[in-house]
Amino acid sequence: MDEDSRIIVALDCDNRAAADDIVDRLGDECRFYKVGLELLTAVGPDVVTSLVARGKEVFLDLKLFEIPNSVAGAVRAAGALGASLVTVHGMGGRGIMAAAVDAARDFPALRILALTVVTSMTDEDLADIGVGNPAEEQVLRLARLADKAGCHGVIASPRDVAALRGALGAGALIVTPGVTLHGESPSEHARPGTPRAALSAGASHVVVGRTVTRATDPAAAFRLVRNSLAV
């Protein structure tokens, strides 16, 4: 996998014009974009088909957590849009994750990723919802469950990557949000890391947001992230 394909830019926008502007300014630099709940809710699924029509790959971050039949329907809809990655909550259990995997079989290019522990959550947050394990243990627990359910990989923080790679093996996708360059604020992420550290530990992809999207020159910022991987 070349370096450009490993970097996913998060289009965390609340309107189509802002998202289109980022994609236009990045041009050929970026091949992979994340569309999350904010943008999808604000502008609808056409944003996904538009990106796919431009030759981009789309990580559709739905964080599905519903009854298995509803999850399967949403996955089929994501596949029909042309998404490459879609997320389901690991906390939903094996039945929900397996339903997502089964629904994706009709779309050979679609991969199902299980969200382990949201990168903003701390041990205290987990305790509030009745999870006594620390975050790193809960991440591994849910990742192993996702693997048994047939998921193609997981979403986890950069700090979880090394343990996950050891647990899941070489073939699993490990996608890490919460990456920032040295000196940048981690924002709402409780367990951040640099893109280079995440990939060195075994991540398959890193998700970058404000580092690129709020830069004066997004293309130059993207190149800075890409160059940091080779240092």
Q: Which residues are catalytic, by number?
A: 63
Question: 3-class SS at 13?
Answer: coil
Residues 6 or more apart in contact with residue 137 via CB below 8 angstroms: none
Closest CA relative to residue 60, chosen from 75, 42, 72, 71 = 75
| Dist. CA 135–CA 140, nearest whole Å | 9
| Dist. CA 150–CA 15, nearest whole Å | 35
Q: Which contacts of 153-157 are long-range, i.e. CB under 8 A and separated by 24 or more positions?
A: 153/111, 153/113, 153/114, 153/204, 154/90, 154/113, 154/114, 154/115, 154/116, 155/87, 155/113, 155/114, 155/115, 155/116, 156/116, 156/117, 156/119, 157/117, 157/119, 157/189, 157/190, 157/191, 157/192, 157/193
Closest CA relative to residue 142, chosen from 123, 120, 160 = 160
Closest CA relative to residue 18, chosen from 210, 176, 179, 194 = 210
**Residue 3 is inside which H or E element, if any?**
helix 3-6
